[in-house]
Amino acid sequence: MKRISRILLIAIFIATSSFQTAKADEQHKLQLSRQLSIFNSIVKELNLFYVDSIMPEKMIERSISAMLRSLDPYTIYYSEEESDELKMMTTGKYAGIGSIIRYHTDKKTTVLSEPYEGMPAHKAGLQAGDLIISIDGKPVKEMSTDSVSNMLRGEPGTKLMLEIERPGKKGTMTFRIERASISLPPISYYGMLDSNTGHIILDSFTEECAKEMRKAVVDLKKQGAESFVIDLRNNGGGLLNEAVEIVNLFVPKGKTIVTTKGKIKQSNEEYVTRKEPIDEACPLAILVNGQSASASEILAGALQDLDRAVIIGSRTFGKGLVQSSRSVNGGGVLKLTTAKYYIPSGRCVQALDYSHMLEDGRSSRIPDSLTTVFHTAAGREVRDGGGIRPDLEPKTEELSTLLYYLLQDMAMFDFATEFKLKNDTIAPASEFKIDDTTYSEFCEYLKSKNFSYDLRSVKMLGDLKKMIEFEGLGNIVKEELKALEEKLNADLDLSLEHFKKDIKDLLADEIIKRYYGQKGSIVYSLREDVDIKEACRILNNRDEYSRILKPAPSNEANK
């Protein structure tokens, strides 16, 4: 009887819970219907009675954007006209002329900064530094780069007339260019770092990037690679299944790499390696930074959880959310967050809590003290929340205020353009250096352009002075503040001398792009790359490599 009573109580509890859940769902549906009716009524009233004419389609688009922004930054509506942007993000393909563009603040127009080799712009003879004057006769001065980009894109095979102004040439030049399908390669570079270490830079997780990764690994193994450095720095992610396939290149068949969990059953999936790996024993080093996100974190996190690679760099972004695309009425597409993902140890790396927004619209970061300890396959401690923490974090210098301003300013870009006009050739990217004569010329060029910059410390000192005055302490610390202000005031000559080495590196990189493109820039950057040097050191020291991947001795073992 007691057993029967317990069964009855359980049955009653389940029935009551189901009834309450069904009732809550019904109330939710009624509330949603009511709110939609209110919204529809307000739009109708505005359209009929508002004093000025309104544009309902624009108003509703803004309403949709505001509604989605309240959820998370990744839930976005793409109208029918914008759907090509989403397609490019997932496939890496678009139709256009094939060049990076940027806005020239002094000239107030768009400039070509890097035509891709072999693409229509490059084939037509366009060069970095060319200023765009008009497209198909329409002036583009003061137009945003997004607007100019949309004008340059179109259907493959269609043609456009591009009027440009080239530094060093009088008047303007006109080019008739045929748009083509542009496929951005997911791997921007791969090569040998030394006699037995291969290096692959993976920029995005677009369609079939796993196949490209397989080709690169096979090719490097033929060149003698016995270990690999996979560079995911600044890789913002992409397709989840491509990340799983790349993990599978180094991990045995049948391993669970990532699990997704959402509100509905269709969002719950388990991704398992399904092929035999290329090499499940070769030492691996994965490079990450604060811009490595999403699929990059799945790749790095899974290899860390499986004790298959040493992670080097700085903590990753912390995006543990999965998006799916859904077609909506009218031809648009809604990309929305449908699940969270969990890597082999069971942890989710999501850093920001979007379910509890602050009043100013920002999201709070999950503090390390509230994260949970998980364990890798070998028993090493790892934590959820806050992205992937590297096994090794080489010390790197932060970008100074001067260097930041130089990167934003067009003076360095323009100097490189003029340098190219005066010099037909330079040394190979692996050998090129900025000599003192060229550096002096650049410093004089900066001054002729009236370049200036503001130190962040000066701004903070200004805020401090206001607070001191507010609290009535101005006279007490007046002399000290004046002395500090004099020391902090930016002296351009002193700064250019103090940061000479760093500025030379930036200038050399900009000049090398003019002659050898992006690959030349990468080759040059490898010469002083702290993370790369650390990766090579670890991969060439097998004892230390193995020690990193083993769990720390327990307290019991130390007794």
pLDDT at 472 over 90: no
Higher pLDDT, 540 or 10: 540
Q: Which amino acid would we find at residue 236?
A: G
- Residue among 305, 307, 391, 531 flagged as catalytic: 305
CATH number of 187-383: 3.90.226.10
In tens, the pLDDT along 396-421 reads 777 788 888 888 889 999 999 999 99
In tens, the pLDDT along 90-99 reads 777 788 999 9
Over range 345-357, report the average pLDDT: 88
Q: How far apart (Å, rounded) are the C-alpha atoms in residues 288 and 157?
A: 39
* 52 is an active site residue: no
pLDDT of residue 556: 44
Reading the block at residue 433, the tokens are 């250096």
- Residue-averaged pLDDT of the chain: 88
Enumerate residues 6+ apart whose C-beta is below 8 A from 293.
235, 236, 237, 316, 317, 318, 319
Domain positions in the chain: 93-183, 187-383, 401-539
pLDDT of residue 557: 42
Higher pLDDT, 455 or 365: 365
- Residue among 319, 335, 420, 513 flagged as catalytic: 319
* 195 is an active site residue: no
pLDDT of residue 13: 57
Pick the closest to residue 177 from 139, 115, 104, 121 (CA basis). 121
- Residue among 113, 204, 292, 294 flagged as catalytic: 294
CATH topology of domain 93-183: Pdz3 Domain (2.30.42)
pLDDT of residue 234: 96
Higher pLDDT, 184 or 189: 189
Same fold: 93-183 with 187-383: no
Kindly report the pTM of this predicted structure.
0.84
Q: Of 14-23, 264-273, 401-410, which gets the smallest average pLDDT?
A: 14-23
pLDDT at 100 over 60: yes
In tens, the pLDDT along 211-258 reads 999 999 999 999 999 999 999 999 999 999 999 999 999 999 999 999
* 305 is an active site residue: yes
pLDDT at 11 over 90: no
Enumerate residues 6+ apart whose C-beta is below 8 A from 303.
247, 250, 251, 284, 286, 309, 311
Q: Of 9-13, 175-179, 246-250, 272-276, which gets the smallest average pLDDT?
A: 9-13
In tens, the pLDDT along 479-494 reads 777 777 766 666 778 8
DSSP helix/strand/coil, 182: strand
Higher pLDDT, 455 or 381: 381
Enumerate residues 6+ apart whose C-beta is below 8 A from 199.
189, 190, 191, 192, 193, 228, 229, 231, 526, 532
